[in-house]
A = this chain, B = another copy of it.
Amino acid sequence: MSSFSHRIQTRYYAPPSAVHGDRLVLPPEEAHHALRVLRAAAGQEIEVVDGEGGWYRVRLDEADRRTAAGTILERRREVGEPDYSLTVGLAMLKNPSRYETFLEKATELGVTAVLPLQTARTQKARLKTARAQNILVSAMKQCGRSRQVHLSDVVDFTDVIAANTAGLKVICHEAGPLEDNLSALLAREPSLPRHILLLVGPEGGFSDDEVAAAQRAGFQVASLGPRRLRAETAALTAVAAIMLSAATT
């Protein structure tokens, strides 16, 4: 245990189905962590989030070999959640660990949903779904959110631009004008819209046709500075800019 662990309350995850009236039963992996790793005991209070906006303060009353369960003392909603929704369409990447890095940090930075995009230049790519879900749960607990980032199935770029009704729609593009970078674009918005959709291309970027199609569908084009960013770096940069912009407007 580190010398400052008292500062950071360990949070646990339990799905909504773990709540029965005022009783909450931790799922087996979380119970194991509580009982064996952190040596939680009956009488101790813990914090639990359900991944769907629910937050619970629970007093453990059962903490034996296999079961960790207790009484809900307090319920809150949307703890740690931003007051806007941000969906990021990030193209599938060749390297799944780079996508995983993005998913972890997207959670910390307040992203609502991630759409893995199939685009013109998407190469053979795969995402390890079970690993990704574990990363999303861990990151949610670690950063203090109560909602898990929703990771959709792979979707086609053309379907995403056709269907979406977000108040702010941005497609990030390397060749965008530097003075119209994402921060400048956000500064021009009178206030941050409640629903934001941000698209980031694969290793080779979006094609010119894709950018043009997105513009016809109402997307604004934003640059992310003068250098060639890796896809996941671009996505994190954009998400960070939106988070900081939201806190100031």
A residues at B contact (CB < 8 Å): 2-4, 7-8, 80, 82, 101, 104-105, 108-110, 121, 123, 142-145, 178-179, 181-184, 187, 203-205, 223-230, 233, 236-237, 240-241, 243-245, 247-248
Complex contacts, A108 vs chain B, CB 8 Å:
227-230, 233
B228 lies within 8 A of A142 (CB): yes
- The one of B144, B183, B204, B248 that contacts A227, using a Cβ cutoff of 8 Å: B144
- The one of B105, B143, B181, B244 that contacts A181, using a Cβ cutoff of 8 Å: B244
Complex contacts, A245 vs chain B, CB 8 Å:
183
- Cα-based distance from A226 to B78 in the complex (angstroms): 13
Closest to A105 in B: B233
- Cα-based distance from A2 to B179 in the complex (angstroms): 31
B182 lies within 8 A of A244 (CB): yes
New A-B pairs, 17, CB < 8 Å, besides A7-B205, A110-B225, A110-B226: A2-B203, A7-B204, A8-B204, A80-B227, A105-B230, A105-B236, A108-B227, A108-B230, A145-B227, A181-B248, A183-B241, A183-B247, A187-B187, A224-B244, A226-B247, A236-B237, A237-B243
Distance in angstroms from A239 CB to nearest chain B CB is: 9
A227 lies within 8 A of B2 (CB): no
Complex contacts, A240 vs chain B, CB 8 Å:
236-237, 240-241
A247 lies within 8 A of B110 (CB): no
B228 lies within 8 A of A243 (CB): no
Complex contacts, A230 vs chain B, CB 8 Å:
104-105, 108, 142-143
Closest to A241 in B: B244
Complex contacts, A182 vs chain B, CB 8 Å:
244
B225 lies within 8 A of A109 (CB): yes
